[in-house]
Amino acid sequence: MRKLVIGLGNPGDRYMNNRRNIGFKIIDVLANNTGIQIKTKKKKSLLGIGDFEGHEIVLLKPQTFMNLSGEAVLYIASFLRVAVPDIIVVHDDYSLNYGDIQVARGPVEVPHVGTESIAKGLKSDKFIRIRVGTGPAPQEAVEKKDQKTIEKYNLSDFNLEENYKIIEVINDAEAALRSILTQDIEDVLSKYVIGASFKNTSD
């Protein structure tokens, strides 16, 4: 059964190394590891289709800005006839420590314009989400719900130490995706939605 795997980010060189763009980075590495070329341009998106763990997957990078991600996702999901439960969204999460990977479904835990746009477009929030920790954001801003400061943090670049660890983070996200595709999703959610994080245990 075909799965639509979406990495969220903002297009353009100026955003390339932003915390916000971790979804793009993960999708790019998945494409490289699976030999899938993300080069087809369709409805403000870049996409590629191939195989991962015996499943046909569509890797999608919306080329709208983050807050309009739902426009691209709705079009591609409708065009390829992918049901909401078969959609997996990889996105940044400033409330998780950098490198933590969790899996969720349903309403977002903290505000996220990308996933909220997708939920609005699909008229459902029942897609699967791989939350990739890019935080913690400044505690004072979080406590005061200062979205302007939080967004400034989201649009900041990873620091040198974080860049050294980024491959490990991407590998853990790939391990999460592998679990979603090869295990019963209810088992995955029950194990990892509460607070445990994925770790890539392959040699």
User: What integer pLDDT is reported at residue 109 of this predicted model?
Assistant: 86
Give whole-number Cα distances, 172 to 18, 53, 79, 201, in Å: 19, 16, 30, 9
Alpha carbons 20 and 36: distance in angstroms, whole number: 23
Instruction: Domain ranges for the chain, please list them.
Output: 3-192
Q: Is residue 72 a contact partner of residue 64, using CB atoms and an 8 Å limit?
A: yes
Alpha carbons 64 and 43: distance in angstroms, whole number: 9
Per-residue pLDDT of the chain (203 residues; tens, 9 = 90+): 799 999 999 999 999 999 999 999 999 999 998 999 999 998 899 999 999 888 899 999 999 999 999 999 999 999 999 999 999 999 999 999 999 999 999 988 888 999 999 999 999 999 999 999 999 999 999 999 999 999 999 999 999 999 999 999 999 998 898 889 889 999 888 876 544 455 544 43
pTM of the model: 0.93
Alpha carbons 5 and 177: distance in angstroms, whole number: 9
Domain 3-192, CATH: 3.40.50.1470
63 Cβ contact list (under 8 Å, min separation 6): 11, 44, 45, 46, 72
1 DSSP 8-state letter: -
Cα 201-55-123 angle, rounded to 5 deg: 100
User: Can you list the pairs that 81-87 forms with residues at least 24 positions away whose Cβ atoms lie under 8 Å?
Assistant: 82/2, 82/3, 82/4, 82/58, 84/122, 84/124, 84/126, 84/127, 85/126, 85/127, 85/128, 85/185, 86/1, 86/2, 86/3, 86/4, 87/3, 87/4, 87/6, 87/118, 87/122, 87/127, 87/128
